[in-house]
Amino acid sequence: MERLRRYSQYFFAIVANSYWMFPWKGPIYRGVIKHVCLPGLNCYSCPAAVTACPLGALQNFLATLRYNMSAGCFRPGFYVIGALALAGSFVGRMPCGWLCPFGLVQEMMLRLPLPKFRLWRGFRIGPYLFLGLFVIILPLAVSDAAGFGITWFCKFVCPAGTLEGGIPLLLMEQGLRRAAGLLFLHKLVLLVLILLLSAVISRPFCRAVCPLGAILGMFNRLSWFQLRFHKDRCLDCKACNTICPTDVSFFDGADDINSPACIRCMRCVAACPGGSVTIEFGPALEPATGESRTDEKNCTCHTQQG
Amino acid sequence: MQNERIRPLKYLPAITTAAALMLIAAGLWAGEARDVWQKAVSICLSCIGIG
């Protein structure tokens, strides 16, 4: 399973960045595939990117909403929200674990032979704060006289933009190198910090910052794809918690197995010696409480109700 | 009692998928896909830390 996931991460990283003609045909892909929002953090200003970044596109809609409305046009980003909701409705936050190129980068950094630390659970609120403030409120609320706002998350936070777009484009274009100043330095420092943290903490950006993960995570309990924890088969060995890249702890009831923090890497499915974690593809059968989907009654109900 | 509690949730994934498709359709109708493309085919200076 883990090998399959790794191949999937490489596959999507390559497919999402498959425009290798940029040194000859121009620094950015302009084809029809850029209408598509890939549910992963992959900057559309990367010279090789062939898909659009949903987070950048959403902020752009919100930042220009005031201007568009004054021009009699209401475009709040239904298309982007719908695309994310569609992915989320099927697999929840699975794209974070199986598709996101920046998730892959963090996992590669974690392979460095350095001491590893756990992230404090309180940081789980971070993605929601960044989503609310940097992606929604600030682009909507702060605008110039003409009504144009700023894409705050892209401009001041997003490390994928610096890694995939900023660094390659600055290496390629002398004009951009001349224009780079304090803002680029700030983003570069942030990128280096996140990469260094990724070497000692599992996926710190996904768990404490990423607004895209926050959006997709909201669908974990609503999606067709569901994980199920059979408490009766649990051996209390904690293998699931030890191996979990986002520290989801469902064996002791601290988290729901379909917690928004879960990136659905499915390492726990493979690691559990008792086979207590299984995969379902069907409607959720119980309310989104803090309890895991454990009892056999629910299993019976699922069968009865089809 | 449990069936009553469970029934509404049974349809949640289907409702979510349908809502997502409707949002995409509304976005396409409003011309948002073209906006996404227009933004994505030019270098985003704020994304790369220039402007």
Residues of A in contact with B16 (CB under 8 A): 85, 88-89, 219, 222-223
Interface confidence, given as ipTM, is: 0.86
DSSP string, A101-170: HHHHHHHHHHTSSS--BPPPGGGGGHHHHHIIIIIIIHHHH-B-TTS-B--HHHHHT-HHIIIIIIHHHH
| Contact present, A80 and B32 (Cβ < 8 Å) | yes
Closest-CA distance, B43 to chain A, in angstroms, reads 5
pLDDT category of residue A144 using cuts at 50, 70 and 90: confident
Residue A168 has pLDDT above 50, yes or no: yes
Q: In angstroms, what is the C-alpha Rg of chain A?
A: 21
Minimum mean pLDDT among A222-226, A263-267, B8-12, B42-46: which range?
B8-12
For residue range A112-124, what is the model confidence (pLDDT) as tens digits? 999 999 999 999 9
Between A134 and A1, name the one with better pLDDT: A134
Contact (CB<8Å) A285/B10 = yes
3-state SS assignment for residue B43:
coil
Residue A291 has pLDDT above 70, yes or no: no
Could you say which of A27, A37, A285 has the minimum Cβ distance to residue B6?
A285
pLDDT category of residue A290 using cuts at 50, 70 and 90: very low
pLDDT category of residue B7 using cuts at 50, 70 and 90: low
**N-term to C-term CA, chain A:** 28
Residue A40 has pLDDT above 50, yes or no: yes
The domain total for chain B is: 1
For residue range A63-102, what is the model confidence (pLDDT) as tens digits? 999 999 888 889 999 999 999 999 999 999 999 999 999 9
pLDDT of res. A20? 87
- In sequence order, what are the beta bridge partners of A277? A229
pLDDT of res. A284? 56
% of chain B surpassing 90 pLDDT: 59
pLDDT of res. A41? 92
pLDDT of res. A286? 52
Between A97 and A253, name the one with better pLDDT: A97
List domains and CATH numbers for chain A: 2-216 (no CATH), 225-305 (3.30.70.20)
Contact (CB<8Å) A28/B42 = yes
- What tokens appear for A108 in the block? 């590669």
How large is the average pLDDT for residues A203-209? 96
pLDDT category of residue B50 using cuts at 50, 70 and 90: confident
Residues of B in contact with A219 (CB under 8 A): 16
CA count, 13 A, side-chain hemisphere, A17 = 24
Residue A142 has pLDDT above 60, yes or no: yes
Residues of B in contact with A283 (CB under 8 A): 9-14
Length of chain B: 51
pLDDT category of residue A214 using cuts at 50, 70 and 90: very high
pLDDT category of residue A282 using cuts at 50, 70 and 90: confident
Domain hosting residue B6, numbered range: 2-48
| Contact present, A248 and B45 (Cβ < 8 Å) | no
| Contact present, A284 and A221 (Cβ < 8 Å) | yes
